[in-house]
Amino acid sequence: MGVKDELEKAVHNVKDAISEGMHRGAADAEQTKRDVDGDDMTLGDKARSVANQAKNTVQADIDSAKRTARENT
């Protein structure tokens, strides 16, 4: 693998790592929101929060998997 390919790989890895961190942070924020506001939230608000947390966790896992796959090629 040439220098150009290694540089492109590194750039993609950094982008995916940043994206993963943002998604994990958003997922953690949803959990914190439910921990803090739990009893004041409606059932619908709680359901949306759980769904948002799950969505962000999946997106973070995808970013992590892309980095892992890239490292194994």
Domain positions in the chain: 3-71
Residue 73 pLDDT > 90, yes or no? no
Which residues 6+ apart lie within 8 Å of 13 measured at CB?
67, 70, 71
pLDDT tens by residue, 42-64: 999 999 999 999 999 999 999 99
Predicted TM-score of the model (pTM):
0.87
pLDDT tens by residue, 2-39: 899 899 999 999 999 999 999 999 999 999 999 999 89
